[in-house]
């Protein structure tokens, strides 16, 4: 049965924005999983941060939680604690996940909640009209850094590996075929499945040419030390000599957050709770 992935909301992304490609890949991944009966439509839930990426909440027909800037990840942590059966997709921006919400990003990698995290990495704060983020290359001239971004970029792939993410991948929004495939794998992975999706911002930071010329695919997942080595091949700078590896760096099955705390689908596990004022009796001396 074909499912409806469309919403009635008018799209407000810039024409040609690779966010459209991430949206189509996500819709495709979800509908394929539902149509092949691997999941129920109503099981899917998207959480988003605030930024251009966050608008995906309005454009994809799944349950959704449009959170605060930087907080798509902790909201998702709560969702899986509240109902471990939901299939959660977290759509975050690079500003979201790596600046405002970096603490949630690194600690969730350790805690290993079962959801897929898709970071729309345009190396820019797009919705606020073009300021540097933690993945912006040093020297980038933006409105807040007219003399060039003063800091070196961070590498979210090696950081995710260092903090114990159990699925780590990099994809390019323009390569929608591979993106869809890896997204599906991430949704199916049990644990914290992270994809850093390179998404050039046509309005404020168009690195299409730089990335397009340098990407290459490798056969993953790799063994941990090799994955780390591969992750460090590109440091998110605009080094002309760099090569950018694309694919799944690392994957392991490890106890998830929900498994660790033995969480339940609470409202069905306990549809009705009776008042238990008898608990007061335990204070009896």
Residue 76 binding result from other proteins, ligand TPP, Mg ion, none, given CB thresholds of 5 to 8 Å by partner type: other proteins
Residue 64 binding result from ligand TPP, other proteins, Mg ion, none, given CB thresholds of 5 to 8 Å by partner type: other proteins
Q: Does 129 bind other proteins (CB under 8 A)?
A: no
Residue closer to other proteins by CB (options 77, 133) is: 77
Q: Which two tokens stand for residue 277?
A: 């004022």
Of 64, 120, 80, residue with least CA distance to 96: 120
Residue closer to ligand TPP by CB (options 49, 164) is: 49
Binders in 13-72 for ligand TPP, by CB under 6 A: 49-53, 69
Residue 37 binding result from other proteins, Mg ion, ligand TPP, none, given CB thresholds of 5 to 8 Å by partner type: none
Residue 1 binding result from other proteins, ligand TPP, Mg ion, none, given CB thresholds of 5 to 8 Å by partner type: none
Residue closer to ligand TPP by CB (options 120, 184) is: 120
Of 58, 121, 115, 107, residue with least CA distance to 87: 115
Q: How far is the CB of 46 from Mg ion (least distance, A)?
A: 17
Q: Does 122 bind Mg ion (CB under 5 A)?
A: yes
| Dihedral class, residue 82 (left if φ above 0, else alpha if ψ from -120 to 50, else beta) | alpha
Distances 213 to 62, 184, 237, 240, 245 between C-alpha atoms, Å: 35, 26, 14, 10, 12
Q: Does 93 bind other proteins (CB under 8 A)?
A: no
DSSP per-residue codes, 222-261:
--HHHHHHHHTT--SS--TT--EEEEEEEE-----HHHHH
First to last CA, the chain: 63
Q: Does 64 bind other proteins (CB under 8 A)?
A: yes
Give the separation between CA 107 and CA 131, rounded to whole angstroms.
26
Strand partners, 46: 64, 89
Q: Does 38 bind other proteins (CB under 8 A)?
A: no
Residue closer to other proteins by CB (options 44, 236) is: 44
């Amino acid at each position: 049965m074909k499912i409806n992935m469309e919403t009635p909301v008018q799209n407000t992304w810039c024409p040609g924005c690779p966010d459209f490609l991430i949206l189509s890949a996500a819709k495709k991944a979800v509908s394929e999983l539902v149509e092949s009966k691997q999941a129920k439509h109503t099981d899917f839930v998207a959480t988003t941060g605030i930024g251009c990426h966050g608008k995906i909440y309005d454009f994809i027909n799944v349950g959704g939680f449009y959170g605060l800037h930087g907080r798509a990840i902790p909201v998702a942590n709560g969702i899986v604690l509240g109902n471990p059966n939901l299939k959660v997709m977290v759509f975050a921006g690079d500003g979201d996940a790596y600046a405002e919400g970096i603490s949630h990003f690194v600690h969730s990698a350790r805690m290993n909640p079962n959801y897929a995290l898709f970071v729309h990495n345009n190396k820019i704060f797009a919705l606020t009209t073009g300021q540097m983020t933690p993945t912006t290359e040093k020297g980038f001239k933006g409105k807040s850094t007219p003399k060039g971004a003063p800091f070196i970029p961070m590498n979210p792939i090696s950081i995710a590996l260092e903090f114990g993410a159990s699925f780590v991948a990099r994809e390019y929004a323009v390569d929608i075929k591979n993106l869809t495939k890896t997204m599906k794998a991430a949704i199916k992975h049990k644990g914290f499945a992270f994809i850093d999706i390179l998404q050039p911002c046509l309005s404020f930071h168009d690195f299409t040419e730089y990335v397009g010329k340098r990407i290459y695919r490798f056969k993953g997942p790799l063994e941990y030390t090799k994955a780390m080595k591969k992750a460090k091949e590109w440091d998110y700078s605009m080094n002309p000599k760099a090569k950018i590896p694309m694919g799944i760096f690392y994957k392991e099955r490890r106890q998830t957050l929900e498994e660790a705390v033995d969480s339940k689908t609470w409202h069905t596990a306990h549809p009705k709770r009776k008042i238990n004022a008898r608990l007061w009796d335990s204070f009896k001396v």
